[in-house]
Structure 1
Amino acid sequence: MPQLIELGNKADMLEQLSIIQQLYPDYTLEIYGDLLDKMIPHNYKQLIVVENGITMGLAGFWIGTKLWCGKYLEMDNVVVHEDFRSKGIGSIMTNYLNQKAIDENCNMIALDAYTTNFGAQKFYMNHGFVPKGFHFVKYLK
């Protein structure tokens, strides 16, 4: 039976480098650690799904407040280990974070999915998410 664990400190998150590298193959321990140093002070945490000592899935998340929506939970960098895809791991993490948002009295859950990632779009729509708008970016580097 998979176990859900919330991570809040850098040392525990650094142990998850190999699954993070499934999203960002070029990340080294140094790059990942530097980013965590900047993110953790802003309430960044991770949820992992573990079974037999193997991380099957990881979802970063933040709880924050914005003018347009009030208190919210944002899911960030959700990844299911390639060996465990299509086995319900994404649903386990999404359902857990949905309940966490309710327990934390959030008004909504937000996330970004790439416009080309149709599988993710379908997955999130099947879990009650709706597209609200566009997340525009302007690359500077």
Structure 2
Amino acid sequence: MPFIFKIIEEESIDSILPLIQKLNNNQVLDTILRQRFVEMFSQNYECAGLFKNEELIGVCGLWFCTRHYSGRSVEVDHVFIDEKYRGQRLGKLFFEWIYNYTKNKGFEAIELNTYVSNHGSHKFYFNEGFKILGYHFLKKM
């Protein structure tokens, strides 16, 4: 059964929310999460989707910007593949699609953050050729 990768349009925000809720363990109310995504779509953000038939089984945010140290870069955000589909090399295929998509848009670097406790993702990203550049800090105001 073929898998399809494509950009999810802003009108389909509601299709993204269930997977993002799983990623965040339902820590944010749906109404707040939806409002945040509406705002994100207005800020150089795109959401890539991984589909099996018509079912959305994976998502990944893409933030486009130019940085002084890396040039035109894409920050990959909230990568999530539904548990039922893990272990099938779909993450590798998803990132190959992301590399091609962003390179064709003229971007030259990809950055990402991952939670310190997510050891499986660390191994994946190292295998993809990512290097640790620094630490990500957060302070809620």
Aligned residues of 2:14 and 2:34 also touching (Cα < 8 A):
yes
Cα distance, 1:84 vs structure 2: 0.7
Question: What residue number does 2:8 align with?
Answer: 7
Structure 2: tracts of 5 or more residues without a match:
none
In structure 1, distance between residues paired with 2:36 and 2:101: 24
CA contact (8 A) 2:77 2:113 kept: yes
TM-score (norm 2): 0.90
Q: Tell me the residue number matched to 2:43.
A: 42
Shift of 1:58: 0.7
Instruction: Provide structure 1 residue ranges, at least 5 long, that are not aligned to the other structure.
Output: none
Is 1:26 aligned to residue 37 of structure 2? Answer: no
Contact 1:47 1:61 in 2 (8 A): yes
CA–CA distance in 1 between the matches of 2:55 and 2:38?
25
Identical columns (%): 25
Instruction: Give the TM-score of the pair, scaled to structure 1.
Output: 0.90
| 1:16-95 equivalent positions in 2, closer than 5 A | 16-24=16-24, 25-95=26-96
Distance across 1 between alignment mates of 2:123 and 2:106: 26
Taking the aligned partners of 1:111 and 1:103, their CA distance within structure 2 comes to: 19
* Per-residue deviation, 1:135: 1.4
Distance 1:19 1:138 in 2: 25
Decide whether the 8 Å contact of 1:56 with 1:89 is kept in 2. no
Distance 2:51 2:108 in 1: 29
What secondary structure, in the 3-state scheme, does the structure 1 residue paired with 2:23 have? coil
Deviation at residue 123 of structure 1 after TM alignment: 0.3
- Deviation per residue, 1:2-52 (Å, 9 max, x gap): 11120131x212222211111121334311221012211112111111113
Deviation at 1:93, TM superposition (A): 1.5
- SS of the residue 1:137 aligns to: coil
Opposite residue 60 of structure 2, the aligned amino acid is A
Larger CA deviation: 77-86 vs 31-40:
31-40
* 4+ residue runs over 3 A deviation: 26-29
The 8 Å contact of residues 17 and 29 in structure 1, kept in 2 or not, is answered as yes
